[in-house]
């Protein structure tokens, strides 16, 4: 009977220790989730506003948008990509054309943690031009699926690769 009590005591201690570790892991993962969601918000907002510096800052130094030979690679090229949105808006304004706002949105997101410093952010995306006036309704410019390969660098989650045409 004494051996049973000791065994039960040992099992209780092990269960408590395991639940404490799991609780710490869950807390860390929730913090990671919040940081990743905030990263993706900053990504979309920088792209929508044509803020190339803020857009490039959401990527790793060697990060890339797209895959294959036409991928945009590296922060300087990524900055130019997002700055192009602002330049197009300015050119339209200079011609007296109203350019509706653009919104990049993600839905049905899922964060897949690979290890402590790597994750994949799966989502469906929509790119929508807002209403361009009373008689110009919003329009969907693009829709698709993305897989974003994320990496924690110096304690900060960043996009390593944004694949907006995954093959799987």
Q: Give CA–CA dist 153/22, Å, rounded.
A: 24
Length of the chain: 168
Q: Is residue 120, in this structure, part of any structural domain at all?
A: yes
**Overall number of domains in the chain:** 1
Band of pLDDT at residue 164, cut at 50, 70 and 90:
very high
Q: Is residue 26, in this structure, part of any structural domain at all?
A: yes
Beta bridge partners of 107: 124
What would the pLDDT profile of 33-46 be if each residue is shown by its tens digit? 999 999 999 999 99
CATH number of the domain enclosing 114: 3.10.450.50
Contact 124, 145 (CB under 8 A): yes
Q: Is residue 168, in this structure, part of any structural domain at all?
A: no
Please state the pTM of the whole predicted model: 0.81
Contact 32, 119 (CB under 8 A): yes
Note down the domain range covering 87.
Answer: 2-163
């Amino acid at each position: 009977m004494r051996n049973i009590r000791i065994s039960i005591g040992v099992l209780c201690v092990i269960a408590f220790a395991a639940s404490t570790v799991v609780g710490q892991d869950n807390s860390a993962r929730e913090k990671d989730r919040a940081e990743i969601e905030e990263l993706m918000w900053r990504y979309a907002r920088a792209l929508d506003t044509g803020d190339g510096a803020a857009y490039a800052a959401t990527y790793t130094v060697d990060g890339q948008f797209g895959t294959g030979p036409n991928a945009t690679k590296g922060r300087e090229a990524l900055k130019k990509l997002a700055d192009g949105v602002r330049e197009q808006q300015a050119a339209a304004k200079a011609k007296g054309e109203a350019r509706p706002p653009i919104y990049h949105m993600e839905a049905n997101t899922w964060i897949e943690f690979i290890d402590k410093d790597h994750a994949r952010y799966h989502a469906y995306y929509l790119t929508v031009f807002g209403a361009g006036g009373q008689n110009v309704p919003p329009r969907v410019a693009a829709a698709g699926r993305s897989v974003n390969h994320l990496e924690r660098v110096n304690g900060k989650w960043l996009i390593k690769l944004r694949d907006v045409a995954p093959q799987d």
